[in-house]
Structure 1
Amino acid sequence: MTDQPQQDLLDQDGMRARKFRTGRTMFALMMREMSTSYGRSPGGYAWAILEPVLALAVLSTIFSFVMRSPAIGDSFPLFYATGYLPFMLFNDVANKTSTALNHSRPLLRYPAVTFIDALMARALLHLLTHTLVAYIVFFGIAIVLDLQISPDYTQIAISYLMGGLLGFGVGCFNCYVMMSFPVWERMWQILTRPLIFISGLFFPYETMPQFAQDILWWNPLIHVVGFLRKGIYAPGYTGDYLSLIFPILTALILLGLGLLLLWRNHQSLLEG
């Protein structure tokens, strides 16, 4: 009878040790990812901020010549930032997660590093990076252009968490498919190129023809972008078409399927 409490304490200590080890492993993987992604290029981490700023400057300049004002609000940079930044969040998290196991293949030979550690570390780093970039870009635009905005931070957080979860789900599923069928990596890049045009970056959902709305509502990124615009342009932009359940359900289905397939096959995929 006296052995049971001691066994329970040992089990609890072992669980805490595993959690601590997982945290240390993910932190080490994130530091490694930072050095490999940004540390080897001139400018380093600054490019994470400069790249979207330059892209927004180009988009704003081009469209200002053909349009008097953006579809929402009065600022071209702010309007395109609300479309471009969440799209790049999804795209970056999905692409980085899909190549996480190949990227960390040598480290996965060690028992302390699991395939889930590699997936989560890469996705979390790029989610945090894009969140920081969005904070800097939006406040920079508001200060430089002297814009009077009253953002709804709850809606903004929903957009970024939804975009990150969707990118992670797509990335986990693609990680299995790309490792099983390497040609899928190139096909995925080709098939997803039109996403930048059909995700509401340039034209809000409400301004599209009805037949386009009926089709594009099923694009989860339409909702990710819409929630961010609802947060930035609050309270004027309502986004009546937005769904919270559909993008999250899509992300969870892909995430569950991807993790299940990787759990059953990651060893053979890494050895292949």
Structure 2
Amino acid sequence: MPSREDEALARAAVAALTSQLALAPKPGLPDPRDLAARATRRDHRGLRWSAKALAPGLAAMAAAARRTGEPTPRLRAELGAIGRCTEHSVGLAGGGHRGALWTLGLLVAAAALAPRARGAEVTATAKRIAAHPDRAAPRRPSRGATVSATYGAAGARGEARAGFPHVRRALDALARARTAGADEAEARLDALLTVMSTLQDTELLHTAGPLGLRHVQAGARAVLDAGGTSAEAGAKALVAFDTDLHARAWSPRGSAGLLSGVLFVDSLPAAAATGAA
């Protein structure tokens, strides 16, 4: 049974996901401006509701990690089984969040294995978990795995097995933006754009192909090169980028899922304090 510490980690992960959903304007992604989801094809309120369905599964993942005590093949298999059950529960609640579940599940388990770890230490532990294959996973490859194989992209598995490099880069971007005086929303948007600027997003590769992916990466870099979202030129570039992606109906959902992981890892000192209370 999950402990108070496990439940605190799960709550922190769900809070990170809902904070990501509430952030605006996110280029091409669901946010509070688009409740009808005409462009993103996702009802923002429905996504916020279904995010809550992740909590029991994430708490169970934390409990499994704490009980196992090591990033073993057995733990990887147990996390996979819990993840598939959680996907089903989220589907019943309205769906979505598959990429966020993968990222948050591994990071929650890593945080439970190493309660004092922060930042890159958490992603390094997640890397050790992801290094093991999930032998009970369905044989039929997912769309993301198929796209990864077609284009040679790392995909979600590759990102995890590399220790979530985009989470680490975004954490650095978040800290730099805060130090430079950006407000919290601007700092988080800069972190998102940092991910988008280099991520080989399999969702974008599926919908827009390699040229579309490079177009999105270049658009994200243009905002950052203009000083980021806290600068006047960067803010204007962000609006243009957002308008462009919505017009094309291109949604970089892989970047959104990773931003949820960034916000979770960033919250860990507060999450640990909550669990200890």
Work out whether the TM-score is over 0.5. no
Instruction: Flag the structure with larger Rg.
Output: 1
The TM-score, its normalising length taken from structure 1, stands at: 0.30
Q: Which has the higher helix share?
A: 1
- Which structure would you say has the larger RCO, counting Cα contacts within 8 Å and 6 or more residues apart? 2
